Amino acid sequence: MIDIQLVSQACLSRVKLGQSLKTVFPQELEKLCDKNDQPAVKNTVYGALRYLGYLEFSLDSLVSKRPNGLVSLLLISIYLIEYSRSANHAVVNAAVSSAKQMGFVKLAGLVNAVLRNYLRQQSKIKKNACDHDVANLQHQAWWVQKIRQAYPSQAEDIFSTSLQHPNLALRVNTRSTSLEEYLRLLDDQNIMWERPEQIWADAAVILTQPVSVHQIPGFFEGLVSVQDVGAQMTATRLDLRPGQRVLDACAAPGGKTCHILELEDVYVTATDKDPERIIRVRENLDRLSLAAETQAADISDTEAWWDGELYDRILLDVPCSASGVVRRHPDVKWIRREKDIDSFVKQQRSLLSVAWKVLLKGGKLLYTTCSIFPDENENQVKWFLKEQSDAKLDPIYAAQNGHLILPNDSHDGFFHALFEKK
């Protein structure tokens, strides 16, 4: 318990400074704690980030001045008292010991007093939190306002969904096996599963019990990939035909790249500006026995990667706020700033303009985000149609300026818009 709270507060401190969990995990965990303790630390940090609004509200209710250096430890400890099965006295004792190990021997008594005061005022604090949006809905105030403005009748469901533990969804590689055969394999190994209701997810299966990657049957043999059910919609929307040239821009880590190749015999170029992330694409291709041209390049610099031949299809999965996937990445809803949205919008428009130049006439470009903010979705579609006179939106998407799926207990939130070049 001592090590878990100590390491968890160190990880939370880094997130509160603006670093993403992708940066904090897994390198820092390997430095800070034993491998056997890493799952417990991850669960604790993820849980604290899901409920950080309430934890911050609670701490502010207990102290008039936050003790420098001990804030994250107190937040982690309040989380464990409120949301875990740990015994309250064990959490308090471990927090006191952790404070001493951190060098705050003189403040160990304060840690003890704050946490015991929380135990006394727990009911009152929880009641007061109901009238505080950030504490009650677990998102920053500006984020709450944006969601309520865009989805007044669905906002509460969106916020509650973000607190759920996401399911583990798989995409069956139909080039290597059939869905039916794979489901029998799961049954043979007594792994519980269910099929999603979404009509587009014809190769998807959801595991209804916790399973590590090493326990997924056939994963390393290329029979399946881990991919959210909502993300499995993307490749199916490209309207692929055999022999087409396809560009997957911003491709890492390669889930959609591989799905494209599983669906159709096409020639794929997968690019990503991060050389380390393009390695992930290659690893996934190799695992699934698929082939594509991969390039570590920024698509904005066409001279560095483009061979001059236009593409029949382009998948443009742009960098975005990730507001649709916060149940998987709860750090996002705290490290993101409102001004970041404008930066993403500018970047998305730049990428759209560049990608459009390398698309064949009569070709199609699928614009996608894992955002649910209209600024990055419908508003971008409107802008692009005004900007490009030779662009038209696929009729299926025209009524709503794209197709948005909001996050729920089956999938994350995603947006798609399919453009055709006249």
- Residues with a known catalytic role: 370
> Is the distance from CB of 182 to CB of 224 less than 8 angstroms?
yes
Alpha carbon distance 417, 394 (integer Å): 8
Closest CA to 409 of 210, 150, 225, 165: 165
What are the angstrom distances between the C-alpha of 246 and each of 97, 243, 357, 365? 57, 9, 14, 10
* Residues 5 and 94 sit within 8 Å (Cβ to Cβ): yes
Rounded to an integer, what distance in angstroms lies between the CA atom of residue 73 and that of residue 215? 33
Question: Is 166 in contact with 412 (CB distance < 8 Å)?
Answer: yes
Distances (CA, A) of 257 to 26, 211, 251: 25, 25, 7
239 closest CA partner among 292, 317, 351, 314: 314
3-class SS of residue 87: coil
Alpha-carbon span 416 to 402, nearest angstrom: 6
Residue closest to 417 by CA, chosen among 364, 358, 343: 364
Q: Are 373 and 349 in contact (CB under 8 A)?
A: no
- Report how far residue 24's alpha carbon sits from residue 14's, in angstroms, rounded to the nearest whole number: 7
Residues paired with residue 313 on neighbouring β-strands, in sequence order? 246, 364
Tally of CB atoms within 10 A around 85: 5
Q: 86, exposed or middle or buried, with CB in 10 Å at 0-12, 13-18, 19+? A: middle
With the CA atoms of 28, 30, 34 and 38 taken in that order, what torsion angle do they form, in degrees rounded to the nearest 10? 60
Sign of the dihedral through C-alpha 391, 392, 394, 400: positive
